[in-house]
Structure 1
């Protein structure tokens, strides 16, 4: 497997990209310290931004670390035949235990609880507490949800390994998760299915999940190798990766080594930015995929990468 960069674009006015989704000819981007949802056109030009929650605290161009919602994952949900964007916080601090449901179609499902803003706010504290309380669920790490993806009737959350912890895939049935998310009468906390995975390492550090996307029979993901020992502080980025989990592996009891490859620049040297999320743009023949990846430069800007992934 090989992942090669074919184009890199930089955005000074899209801070700290952490989530990416594609719908039609548009790409949607969120940042972990921004209150806005950014929309790019098919040529990756920034077209608009819309506040999804209160913009207080964004005067400097980035929300302070101890106040930010830390939206680390975004996915497209289909509900009653209509598309919605679900954005979820990492859960690594009390302010980060919220989700936002964005109203793409303009109907009323997201307006309840949205207030002045365009997204419905959802409290995830009970869901995240459940994950923390279940023995061994998080593989020895503090809660740090970094990837969110929906497809094949399930919602997938990727828990990022920290220190000696494990990378964990947490799966829910959408038929249980959506009623809980919307607060429907009688809805219960959804039951999770847990899988553990091993990613590449370097100098006693292990790469950690950072983004997810469902395409064909695979859960594609981004991962990065970051020199940090907790879910709160940033560290030096030593490399970024792309890989996939075959859905036939989901739910297996062993800790499995999954197909993963470093992102390489055109000259073959490693890309050392922090890849945060991805979408699969299209498949080009057998085992070739066109991907779009967003990356956080940890200085208030973002990069968008076009990547060609070859899977043998």
Structure 2
């Protein structure tokens, strides 16, 4: 399997890209220290910026680390025939245990709890506490980095930290959406857990960073970062793309999943931190055109067009 970059774009005015979603010819990006949802057109030009929560603290172009919501995932949900964007915090600190539901169509379902911002705020503390207990995570080790919906389920990717595990947390959307919306007589949805191994370099395991459902696979980005906790950044040693076949979800064994280093056109490894992806299209058997966003940890972002080939 090979993942080769065909084009790279840099954005100085889109800080710390961490989540990417696609709807038609449009792309939506969130950053982990930005209060805005960025809209990109088919040529990847920024055409919109809308506040999804309070913009206080963004005056210098990035929210302070101790205060940021740390949005690390975004996915498209279909509810009652209409599209919504779900954005979720990592859960690695109290301020990061929230989700935001953004209404693309402009009807009333997200108005309650939105205030003057464009998204409905949802407290995820109970849900994240449940994940911590069921996975057996120590305090401060929760780090939800990928969010994707498809085939009737919502998938959350828990990023391995140090010697921890990469975990796929799956929910039935029929249970999860009523919980998100706070509908009457709904309980915490029950997750299904799956455990996976990713590539190791210098005694460090790569960790999940983004997710996207396409065909019969859950595609993911991952990065290998030299850090021992879910809060602090570290040196990036490599970024990867891979996939989990849906037939593997729910297996009790810890499985080694297919993954490959993201490479430049000249064959050298990409040294940025891949954070999220979408699959544009499939080009024949085992070939996928993809878009990846990455965070330079300096307040800027990159967008990569690349080709993934399984051959």
Same fold (TM over 0.5): yes
Give, in angstroms, the shift of residue 198 of structure 1: 0.2
TM-score for both structures, normalised by structure 2 = 0.99
SS in structure 1 opposite 2:59?
coil
Alpha-carbon separation, structure 2, partners of 1:132 and 1:199: 21
Alpha-carbon separation, structure 1, partners of 2:139 and 2:165: 7
**CA offsets per residue over residues 145-202 of structure 1, 9 Å max, x none?**
0000000000000000000000000000000000000000001000000000000011
Q: Do the aligned residues in 2 keep the contact of 1:147 with 1:157 (CA within 8 Å)?
A: yes
Give, in angstroms, the shift of residue 137 of structure 1: 4.5
TM-score for both structures, normalised by structure 1 = 0.98
Which segments of structure 1 move beyond 6 Å, counting only runs of 4 or more?
none
SS in structure 2 opposite 1:248?
helix
Q: Do the aligned residues in 2 keep the contact of 1:89 with 1:98 (CA within 8 Å)?
A: yes
Instruction: Give the gaps of 5 or more residues in structure 1.
Output: none
Alpha-carbon separation, structure 1, partners of 2:305 and 2:140: 32
Matches within 5 A, 1:76-225: 76-134=76-134, 136-138=135-137, 142-225=141-224
Q: Do the aligned residues in 1 keep the contact of 2:93 with 2:140 (CA within 8 Å)?
A: no
Give, in angstroms, the shift of residue 66 of structure 1: 0.4
Alpha-carbon separation, structure 2, partners of 1:140 and 1:175: 30
C-alpha RMSD of matched pairs (Å): 1.1
Instruction: Give the gaps of 5 or more residues in structure 2.
Output: none
Alpha-carbon separation, structure 2, partners of 1:138 and 1:297: 28
Q: Do the aligned residues in 2 keep the contact of 1:77 with 1:83 (CA within 8 Å)?
A: yes
Does residue 30 (structure 1) correspond to residue 4 (structure 2)? The answer is no
- 1:264 is matched with 263
SS in structure 2 opposite 1:188?
coil
**CA offsets per residue over residues 71-129 of structure 1, 9 Å max, x none?**
00000000001000000000000000000000100000011110001000000000001
- 1:254 is matched with 253
- 1:293 is matched with 292
SS in structure 2 opposite 1:126?
helix
Alpha-carbon separation, structure 1, partners of 2:125 and 2:117: 21
Give, in angstroms, the shift of residue 311 of structure 1: 1.3
**CA offsets per residue over residues 48-67 of structure 1, 9 Å max, x none?**
10000000000010000000
SS in structure 2 opposite 1:290?
strand
Alpha-carbon separation, structure 2, partners of 1:227 and 1:241: 15
- 1:60 is matched with 60
Alpha-carbon separation, structure 2, partners of 1:132 and 1:13: 35
Structure 1 residues 141 and 50, CA, compared in 2 at 3 Å: closer, same or farther? closer
Give, in angstroms, the shift of residue 293 of structure 1: 0.1
Give, in angstroms, the shift of residue 131 of structure 1: 1.1
Alpha-carbon separation, structure 1, partners of 2:139 and 2:202: 20
